[in-house]
Structure 1
Amino acid sequence: MAAPALQKTSSAKKTTQWLWEAKSKGGEVKKGEMEAFDAEAVNARLKSLGLNPVKVKKKPYEINLPAFGGGVTGKDILIFTRQFATMIDAGLPLVQCLDILGSQMDNPIFRKVLFQIKAKVEQGSTFADALKEHPKVFDELFVQLCAAGEVGGILDTILNRLAAYREKAEKLKRKVKGAMIYPAIVLVVAIGVTALLLLKVTPVFAKMFGDFGSALPGPTQFVVDLSEWLQNWILHLLASIAAFFFTIVTIYRNPKGRKVMDKIMLKAPLFGPVLRKVAVARFTRTLGTMISSGVPILDALDVTAKTAGNRTVEEAIYYVRGKIAEGKNIAGPLSDTNVFPSMVVQMIGVGEATGAMDAMLNKIADFYDDEVDTAVAGLTAMIEPIMMVFLGGVVGGFLIAMYLPIFSIAGAIK
């Protein structure tokens, strides 16, 4: 009866984080941390790596607070992918790579994830299956490509492609954010300055003008009335703004609402063309990377749709996938969606006919990356003077309105 109980206790044993210090054959002191069942397992692992253990101790308990911005960032994944690809390409074993990268990882959340993946691989799981257990860190694109790399024995090549893909994807994301953030900052500053002038400065002038006892010029009276209205309704105005943004967020979280919002965004006057170019670049880059890595076209389109970032584009890709499953080529259904430019459809059709669709997709992606650069630069160049004129007009108009009565009084005195 004792044996089953002993076996149950053993199977319930959990791994622990261990801090280790060891010397290499050349005498170099190395430090790191490792997830294992006990100190003996750590020592055995270090010896198998050609290291002579010096000190092994349990890692002190630490509280991992969520990192600002959501834990593991795209930059963390990018750096990990590039370093991981270099190590695999150099011939290091998979588990050793994960151990080294986990030990030197600054982000505690990502470090824990890497050690959990390493433990799964040590237990016999494939690398892709271990990644699949962390969908918030490694998306389906990453998992599918790593699975293809493991099956084909070209994991190092796949990781290098993934690193190149993520570098370009992050660069594209930064461009779009830059185009959005700049006008938003200028607009917030303009609203803040206007509110400050109306709430703090105008009442001082209004009191001074009231002592004059004469009628105010039209522009001045308008600013004074606007100031009084804002003072009386400021809380209602702030509540309305908060309710508006809450409504937008609620609509966007609803599948039908997001579909409508995404469609509107693609047709928006200023940002629509930029977002459409971004969608094309992302679609072609993702699909080209997956096809060149040996992923079947239907699986590649499924993953590409999920990572499209726009419901209108996602539905278009699923439509194309359905038509291909029925035996049709890719160019015809792409043209039917009216989402992708005709040039893109024709180039993909040529790539499909010549058997070089992956190369053609990557060429299209490079072209549209440059197009996004040009569009963002043009958008910024157009918005900047508009925002400056707006801000200058608000401040200048306020100053003129406030000084008009003073000029009138000065003229009357003469």
Structure 2
Amino acid sequence: MEVYHWEAKTKAGEKKTGDMEGENTGEVSSALRKRGLTAIKVKKLVTKKPLFGSPKITDLEVVVFTRQLATMVGAGLPLVTCFELSSNGAENPQVREITARVKKDIESGVSLTEALIKEPKMFDELFVNLVSAGEQSGILEAVLERLSVYKEKAAALKAKVKSAMTYPIAVISIAFIITGVLMIFVVPTFAELFKSFGAELPAPTRIVIAISEWAQANWWIVVFLIGGSLKGFFYAYKNNKKFQYQADKLSLKLPVFGMILRKSAIARFARTFGTMIAAGTPILESLDNVAKTAGNMVVEEVISNSKKSISEGRTLTEPLSESDIFPGMVVQMINIGESTGNLEVMLSKIADFYEAEVDRAVDNLTALLEPMILVILGVLIGGLVVAMYMPIFQMGGVVG
């Protein structure tokens, strides 16, 4: 999403300004209307990046900040003091600057919600909406505590899923690089040696040498194809909604990985939805935020359909039960929570269960992949070594 600078007026005619993340100007204008503001001007921000880039605000830094803020507010410290201490203790320059600006805004009489809206790089829409609900209902301390727990759980879940995806990719990449080095630099040395033998080489050796000769002449084609394919995929995924939808749909059907992604999506949905309801946010507004944080367009579509179902007077669970994403147990638990008025409790239990499921699935996947990858590497590298030494063994047998 892009960052837009907006100017708007309140119902009383007071002028407000700020920055907000959004897909387009229409989405930003719609979000402003929900806050009782009439957009005057919405302009996309074009920021110049420094030569070596600036440190990105990580999920961990947001988690630490949220936990510290909840602790300080719980201890009775004024918000100005909280943000001043956070700014002074921040190592990341961006976090330091953002928290200093928020402190300055609060000192000038701006509410915490309005101050956070201006800093979308650090405080997403979910964060702002929860803080807004806490401020309006007078339970900011409790909301910040829930928000800190939510951020910690969400960051842990994201890191777990990321590790499951990164580990095999990293090992395969290393294996590819090692094989490339062997084919381009090591095998040619053996090929020169074998020319002096004057005998026909074994078939495996001839095949390896032929592949090596092709790799020496065309290595740039392989690099170009891999790099171009990856760049093309990520560009299309970012800029083409239809492509992104199909890629997200396919990812949920992948063997093993699809199951992990589906369980993590359910855990994220339940944790986010439960946190927003507990903060007193209306269900329809909560579902808006839950859909935006789904991380998968297919899941986002199902959640949006649930919102539409409620607005039409039907139940939340009807669209969930019709999808392939949410298992019957999840739908039944949500239905019970909706019927008994304990939806928040049920969602929390679903989130706990599926977060534990993701942990187990990732651990099992890692345990399964380690021996498989070792076997593949052994066969690949070992096969190359054996193919290169076969003529030497053959010559030794003849001499013997």
TM-score of the two chains, using structure 2 as the length reference: 0.85
Matches within 5 A, 1:319-338: 319-338=305-324
What secondary structure is seen at the aligned counterpart in 1 of 2:252? helix
Identity %: 46
CA–CA distance in 2 between the matches of 1:362 and 1:327? 25
Paired amino acid for 1:158: V
Q: Deviations over 1:37-66 (max 9, x none)?
A: xxxxxxxxxxxxxxxxxxxxxxxxxx9974
Deviation at 1:338, TM superposition (A): 2.6
CA–CA distance in 2 between the matches of 1:399 and 1:88? 64
Paired amino acid for 2:342: A
Residues 335, 342 of structure 1: 8 Å contact kept: yes
Residues 309, 318 of structure 2: 8 Å contact kept: no
What residue in structure 2 maps to residue 407 of structure 1?
393
Q: Deviations over 1:289-319 (max 9, x none)?
A: 0001100000000000001111111111101
What secondary structure is seen at the aligned counterpart in 2 of 1:267? coil
Unmatched runs of 5 consecutive residues or more in structure 1: 1-62
Q: Deviations over 1:145-203 (max 9, x none)?
A: 00010011110100000001111111111111211222122112211111111111111
Residues 64, 108 of structure 1: 8 Å contact kept: no
Residues 64, 109 of structure 1: 8 Å contact kept: no
Establish whether residue 128 from structure 1 lines up as the match of residue 143 from structure 2: no
For residue 211 of structure 2, the aligned residue among 218, 226, 230 is 226
Paired amino acid for 2:388: M
For residue 174 of structure 1, the aligned residue among 136, 146, 159 is 159
What residue in structure 1 maps to residue 345 of structure 2?
359
Residues 278, 369 of structure 1: 8 Å contact kept: yes
For residue 139 of structure 1, the aligned residue among 120, 124, 127 is 124
Paired amino acid for 1:190: A
For residue 299 of structure 2, the aligned residue among 305, 313, 337 is 313
CA–CA distance in 2 between the matches of 1:85 and 1:306? 24
CA–CA distance in 2 between the matches of 1:279 and 1:80? 25
RMSD (Å), alpha carbons: 1.4
CA–CA distance in 2 between the matches of 1:406 and 1:123? 82
Matches within 5 A, 1:11-410: 66-68=53-55, 70=56, 72-253=57-238, 254-410=240-396
Q: Deviations over 1:365-393 (max 9, x none)?
A: 00001100111011111111111111111
Residues 265, 294 of structure 2: 8 Å contact kept: yes
What residue in structure 1 maps to residue 47 of structure 2?
none
Unmatched runs of 5 consecutive residues or more in structure 2: 1-49
CA–CA distance in 2 between the matches of 1:89 and 1:287? 24
Residues 281, 365 of structure 1: 8 Å contact kept: yes
Residues 158, 293 of structure 1: 8 Å contact kept: yes
What residue in structure 2 maps to residue 39 of structure 1?
none
What secondary structure is seen at the aligned counterpart in 2 of 1:212? coil
CA–CA distance in 2 between the matches of 1:269 and 1:149? 42
Paired amino acid for 2:174: V
CA–CA distance in 1 between the matches of 2:390 and 2:85? 72
The structure that has the greater radius of gyration is 1
What secondary structure is seen at the aligned counterpart in 1 of 2:314? coil
Residues 258, 311 of structure 1: 8 Å contact kept: yes
* Structure 1 runs, 4 residues or longer, greater than 2 Å off: 63-68
Residues 132, 143 of structure 1: 8 Å contact kept: yes
State the number of aligned residues.
350
CA–CA distance in 1 between the matches of 2:272 and 2:347? 9
Deviation at 1:104, TM superposition (A): 2.1
Deviation at 1:75, TM superposition (A): 1.3
Paired amino acid for 1:245: L
